[in-house]
A and B are shown apart, each in its own frame.
Chain A
């Protein structure tokens, strides 16, 4: 080619100049652990299912959720959502209403009759589950997904355990409970009702492994001197009776003794049965009350009264005597010798629960202590092949923890049946708030779920908290910051001054072109969700 005057070289492209050699640090895409996922006792991939919900793909979101938890409609109602306490958005405006979106997905699945698919090959192994509470059902569900045959033996006439006999209907409507339990039954899990296991060794034959989850149904008692005509009952029986259509007669003036969620449930139930302003007596202060703040708030709204720093000394006909307490330096309540008499027609004790462990009488090698069973990190008792979980092992005794136990036990049972050991995948680094670039997120306040009219909350057992509409659920899902996980906002692709980010297309994320990446770190700094990490180059 004839070149113009004074030109001796052909024009070339700068692509020949590999500026990647300048780099001292390289960006890498990472998936960090969102704090919500880290906080979930059931091990849900919350950010993962919210990602699908954000796009309006509710079926996909539900399927993703169901990988870890078979009860979204129940959990969306009764879980105390530690995820929301950990949510990074809480540091920006307010945490994402994860439970409300979960409930929406769960209700949507019930409404549209979505069913999980069992795709695993039948393993030919049989597992016995004792107890159909959250833990037992969750374990059975996961074992079934892995291809095992599962039989659940349940002592009561209906399945659900404490979800039915402990949680009042105004928090968990029974049609929702029934729908999610029957979905598990429809997968081929056999639930035998009225089948109380008196001795595990009598029934275990023919099964390759067993999971015990009998819960904690025995109310702890305290010695309270009482006259002949005084009415003392325990909260467990009160709540259980509500399911048997044999509501206990409590009278107008009801005192509940205890400070946990069960105490609140008992007081709110008493209110709905006609008690005027039930009174909860607790020996410590409001701050030290184990009941969850949301429950406490709802109870106060409904007119439940509280008497802090008090213990019940005795009960006579029509009254109780309480002693005032003070907290010592260690935070323990100490008696003061000051007494007070309070009018009361009945006293409901909500002082904690224990497990009935009679079924273990022929397995002396299983270790028990304080009314609960000892298990190792794989949820197995000292007896090979017998696993246990839920409220009968030491734990925080919530539905969510029970569901988590069930999943964990199922994975370990599955491995144990194959003579293997289940090793959970290594956890990623937590995506903390300081790893985010929150500039990019739109401002958006949380959507409040509407609540039932207060008058109806005091007289009926209708559900108190309403669900979100689709529009609101979509909005709430989109408040997710997607902490630590790429959501394809194209920022890295856009802000690279060297075009060294290759966009791979929807769903496929991005790749770095290290031939040209100079390692400036702009992509990592401008990534909203902290999904890019700068790592030193080895020189």
Chain B
């Protein structure tokens, strides 16, 4: 019996799978044969968004390349919790670089593959926001500028979590970290600091830049798959909540990520050669309080003076305007 005329599938494509949908429209993660590139037994905290984001992205890349992937990994949580010598959770060829040079090591691997004429093997570099936006930035910018054939995946949990939650240049304004304590007249991370790496990557005019979130698996997988079909330098910035560093409940990891998108604080978009080509519209717009109140790193904003919340709301509103997140 053909089910296609009815274009309504109970949960549509919001869930990971959907028994009513054609197999090809379900996610890689719904598949019983997914590669589980990052296997069980890793030492990430309960409800780790980065472990989830890494498996989502690498499994999708594995399917897109028929399992022909080599990955490098900057120092950081992902490297530490996945591979304490001599054990590893990775089920792919994987190489730990140092903190700052994951992009350069990946460039080297890509060059070696070219020499060996193995064009079917693709290279991925991955790192956290610290290893990407701060320590590894020079190497990354060089990789972009040379248009090396590497996909760089940044798992953004908005601080140095592995070393004890210190501020990075991806830490959002107002957030409490070990180095931006919630004291003084302007508690938490200062407003007006930090950098937006997806926009910087776009400024390099590389073939493909995208943002993705663990709260939108279909979108994340589609972006990784698209990136694996492109040659040259590519960059995907994946939003991965950190229950430990953010002071959120481990069971709220996806909820927090979803609210970051639905408030407008983390816009989901794609850019090709420096130009934005698509964005995911907000489904149910919510005020930033809903997002902030789930995280202890923002608890100090909920005192008598709520001006910081208003400023964060302004950031969200500006994103919504700038990226056109309310247009269908």
Contact = CB atoms under 8 A, between A and B. Distances in A.
Interface of A: 9-19, 22, 54-56, 439-442, 444, 471, 474-475, 478-480, 482, 487-491, 493-495, 497-500, 503, 505-506, 513, 515-516, 518-522, 524-526, 528, 534
The 8 closest A-B pairs by CB, nearest first: A490-B17, A494-B16, A521-B251, A14-B41, A520-B47, A520-B46, A489-B15, A520-B250
Contact of A54 (B10, B27, B52): B10
Contact of B29 (A16, A494, A500, A505): A494
A363 B177 CA distance: 83
15 contacts: A10-B86, A17-B42, A17-B87, A19-B42, A442-B9, A442-B11, A478-B9, A491-B17, A493-B29, A494-B17, A495-B16, A497-B44, A516-B41, A521-B250, A534-B251
A491 B40 contact: no
B14 interface: yes
A9 B85 contact: yes
Nearest to B41: A14
A513 B36 CA distance: 14
Given A442-B9, A497-B52, A522-B253, A516 B40 contact: yes
A370 to B, nearest CB: 47
Given A12-B87, A478-B8, A491-B16, A498 B252 contact: no
Given A441-B14, A490-B15, A520-B47, 16 more contacts: A12-B87, A13-B41, A16-B41, A54-B10, A55-B19, A478-B9, A479-B10, A490-B18, A494-B16, A494-B30, A497-B55, A499-B40, A503-B32, A519-B46, A521-B250, A522-B253
B6 A478 contact: yes
Nearest to A437: B255
A57 to B, nearest CB: 8
Contact of B17 (A482, A493, A524): A493
B84 to A, nearest CB: 8
Where chain B touches its partner, the secondary structure class is: loop
Nearest to B40: A516
Contact of A14 (B10, B14, B42, B49): B42
A56 B3 contact: yes
Nearest to B17: A490
> Which of B43, B46, B51 gathers most chain A CB within 10 Å?
B46
Contacts of A487: 10, 19
Contacts, number: 162
Contacts of A439: 14, 258
Contacts of A15: 39-41
Contacts of B313: none
Contacts of B258: 439
A451 B258 CA distance: 42
Contacts of A522: 47, 250-251, 253-254
A489 B217 contact: no
> Which of A442, A471, A480, A506 gathers most chain B CB within 10 Å?
A442
A489 B89 contact: no
A489 B43 contact: no
Contact of B10 (A13, A478, A493): A478
A489 B9 CA distance: 11
A442 B251 CA distance: 23
Given A478-B6, A490-B30, A497-B47, A11 B16 contact: no
A528 B11 contact: yes
Interface in B21-73: 26-27, 29-30, 32, 36, 39-44, 46-49, 51-52, 55
Contacts of A444: 8
Contact of B46 (A493, A518, A526): A518
A474 B6 contact: yes
Contact of B52 (A488, A495, A528): A495
B284 to A, nearest CB: 8
B47 A493 contact: no
B39 A14 contact: yes
A440 B11 contact: yes
A107 to B, nearest CB: 17
A325 B86 CA distance: 89
B49 to A, nearest CB: 8
A323 to B, nearest CB: 54
A490 B27 CA distance: 9
Nearest to B51: A497
A273 B267 CA distance: 65
B311 interface: no
